[in-house]
Amino acid sequence: MTPDTALAALETAGDPEKSVGMASYHKAPRRYLGTAMPQVNALVKEWRDRLTLDQRLALAAGLWDTDVHEARIAAAKLLAQARMRPSDEHAWQLIQSWVPQFDGWAVADHAASSGGRRIMADLSRLDTLEAWTTSDHLWSKRAALVMTLPLALLNHPNADQLAARERVLAWMADYTTDHRWFIQKAVAWWLRDLSGHDAARCRMFLTEHGSKMKPFAPKDAARKLPGTA
C-alpha cells in the first residue's frame, strides 16, 4: 500500500459535488475529495488490518504530505491506536511534526485525538505539550488541550494521572483569558468531559475561573453537570 494507491481509494469513494461544500465550510486552502467519514473509516480499518506498524507509519506520513483533507484525516486515524509495540516513539514524533501545520479544527482534532493516545501511553510527553500552551500558533495551543482530553474522561485516575489532570487544569486557568473562540471552545469541551467523571472538580474550576471566560464557555462547560437545568 502506497500513499498514491491509498489516495486513489479515498478519491474513488469521494463525491465531487460534496467536495465543493466541504471546501467552503472548512476554508483551509487544500484539496477536498468529498469522501464521507464512514468511508474514510472503513478504508483506514482495512489498511490498519493489513499493514505492519512501520508500514502504517510510512503510509500516514505519505498521506499527510499530500495535503488533501481526507488524506490527512486518514493519516491521523492510522495512528489512533492505544498500544504500539515495540515502541510508539516514531508515531509520537510524526504527530508532533504535524502540529505546526494545523490550520483548521477538523484535521487538527483528528490528529490530536491520536496524539492523546500517545500522551496516555507516556505522561512525560506533557512536557512537550506545555511548550505549546504559550504558542502564538492558535492550533498548537488548542492541541495541548485536545490531546489531553483522555485525562478528563478517567473515572478512577491513579496518582500520576491525577497529577497530570491537575497540571492541565492549571494550563486552562491561563487559557480562560484567551478569548479566541477555538480556545474557549476547547476549555469548555475539556470541562464538559470532566463534569461526567469529576463533577466537583469541574464546579471548582468554574467557580474560580468561569468569570474570566467568554459567557458562552462556562455555560457550555456546565451543561452536563448534575443538577444543571
Residue 5's alpha-carbon distances to 2, 11, 37, 207, in angstroms, are: 5, 10, 18, 53
The whole-number average pLDDT for the span 49-55 is: 95
Percent over 70 (pLDDT), the chain: 99
| Cell numbers describing residue 143 | 492541541
pLDDT at 82: 86
Cell 467568554 belongs to: 214
Q: Per-residue pLDDT averaged across 24-41, rounded? A: 96
Confidence class of residue 227 from pLDDT cuts 50, 70 and 90?
confident
Question: Could you tell me what percentage of the chain is helix, strand and coil, using 3-state DSSP and rounding each to the nearest 5?
Answer: 70, 0, 30
Burial of 85 (0-12, 13-18, 19+ CB in 10 A): exposed
Predicted pLDDT at 228: 66
- Mean pLDDT value across residues 182-200: 97
Cell of 167: 497540571
**What is the predicted pLDDT for the residue at 229?**
55
* Residue 95 pLDDT: 98
Q: How many C-beta atoms surround the C-beta of residue 108 within 10 A? A: 25
Give the pLDDT confidence of 156-165 residue by residue, as tens digits. Answer: 999 999 999 9
CB atoms inside a 10 Å sphere around CB 160: 10
Report the pLDDT value the prediction gives residue 210, as an integer from 0 to 100: 97
DSSP-derived secondary structure letter, 31: B
Query: Is the pLDDT reported for residue 154 higher than 80?
Result: yes
* Predicted confidence (pLDDT) at residue 145 exceeds the cutoff of 60: yes
Cis bond upstream, residue 86 (ω within 30)? yes
